[in-house]
Chain A
Amino acid sequence: MDANAAPLVSIRSLVKRFGGFTAVDGLSLEIPAGCLFALLGPNGAGKTTTIKLLMGLLKPTEGTVTVCGMDAFADSVAVKTQVGYLPDEPVFYDFMRGREIIRFCGEMRGLPGAVIEERCKSLAERLQLADALEEFAENYSRGMKKKLGLICAMIHEPPLLILDEPTNGLDPHSTVVLHALMKETVDAGRTVFFSTHLLDQAEKLCDRVAIVRKGTIAAEGTLADLRRSFGQDHSLERLFFELTDSAAA
Chain B
Amino acid sequence: MHRPSTLRLFGLFARTAARRFCNRFLYAWQKKAEAKRKRRNLPEPARTATAHRQQRFRAGTVLVIFFTAYMMFAIGMMLNQSFVKNLKEVGKARAPAAAAAQDGEGPVSIPPPVKVDSNPAAQPKEAVVVVPQVPSGPRVLRLDPASRLIAEKVTGLMMFVAGVGTLLFAIGMLSRQITRPEPSLAWLFEFPVPRPVLFASRLAEGLFDGASLPLLSMLPGIWFFHSGYGFWASVGWGLAFGALIALSLSAVRMAVEVLLLQKCQRRRRGTIGGLSAALGALLMVMVVYGGNAPAVMRGLLAAADALPDWLYHNPFSVGHGTGLTFSAASWFTAAAITAVLCACSVPLCSRLTKFGLEPGLETVRGSRDAAKVSRPRCTGLVGKELLMLVRQRIVMVQVVLAPLIMIVMMYFQSGGRLAERILGSGGALASAVYGICAYMVLIASQVAMNMELRTLWLLLSLPRPLADSLRMKSRIWGIAAASLALVLSLGAVAAHHDLAGDLLYRLPFILAFVALVADLSVGIRTMGSSIVSETTVHFRQWAAWLPLALSAAAGQAVLGGNLWSLCMQLVLLTALDVGVWQKLNAELPWLTEPAEDPPPRLFLMHGQLAAYGYAALQSLLIFIPLSAGVPPGVSILVSGAVAAVIVALLADILLTRRGVRILPGARASKMFSFALAAAGLAVACAAGYFWLEALQSWEWASDMLKETRKAFATEDSSTRFGLVALAVFVAPMCEEFIFRGLVYQGLRRVTGAGWSILWSSLFFMVIHPQASSVAVFVLAAVNAFIMERTGRLLPCILVHAGYNAFVVWLQWPQ
Q: What residues of chain A have their CB less than 8 Å away from a CB belonging to chain B?
A: 16-21, 52, 55-59, 61, 73, 76-78, 80-81, 83-85, 87, 89-97, 99-101, 103-105, 107-109, 113, 130-131, 133-136, 138-139, 152-153
Contacts and interface: CB of A to CB of B under 8 A. Distances in A.
Interface string B124-156: 000000000000000000000000000000000
Contacts of A78: 463
Contacts of B373: 99, 134
In order of increasing CB-CB distance, the 5 nearest A-B pairs are: A19-B47, A20-B44, A95-B391, A80-B463, A81-B463
B374 A91 contact: no
B502 interface: no
B457 A91 contact: yes
Interface in B1-48: 43-48
B46 A18 contact: yes
Contacts of A19: 44-48, 595
Nearest to A82: B463
14 contacts: A16-B595, A20-B44, A21-B47, A59-B596, A85-B461, A87-B535, A94-B179, A97-B374, A100-B387, A103-B376, A108-B463, A134-B372, A134-B374, A139-B366
Interface stretch (B319-327, B586-594, B600-608, B732-740): B586-594
B645 interface: no
B461 A153 contact: yes
Contacts of B383: 104
Nearest to B366: A135
B693 interface: no
B595 A107 contact: no
Contacts of A85: 457, 461
Interface string B373-391: 1101001110110011001
B302 interface: no
A94 B451 contact: yes
B363 A104 contact: no
Contacts of A76: 589
Nearest to A74: B589
B462 interface: yes
Contacts of B457: 85, 87, 90-91
Interface in B437-467: 451, 454-455, 457-458, 460-465
A60 to B, nearest CB: 9
A57 B463 contact: no
Given A18-B47, A87-B457, A95-B392, A136 B595 contact: no
B120 interface: no
Given A76-B589, A78-B463, A61 B387 contact: no
A245 B54 CA distance: 38
Given A91-B535, A100-B387, A134-B372, A108 B364 contact: no
B497 interface: no
Contacts of B592: 52, 57-58
Given A20-B44, A134-B374, A77 B387 contact: no
B465 A93 contact: no
B181 interface: yes
Nearest to A79: B463
B379 A103 contact: yes
A187 to B, nearest CB: 24
Contact of A136 (B366, B454, B589): B366
Most buried by B among A87, A95, A105: A95
Most buried by B among A17, A81, A104, A130: A104
B370 A20 contact: no
Contacts of B367: 134-135
A52 to B, nearest CB: 7
B45 A20 contact: yes
B461 A93 contact: no
Contacts of A58: 592-596
Given A19-B45, A135-B365, A100 B458 contact: no
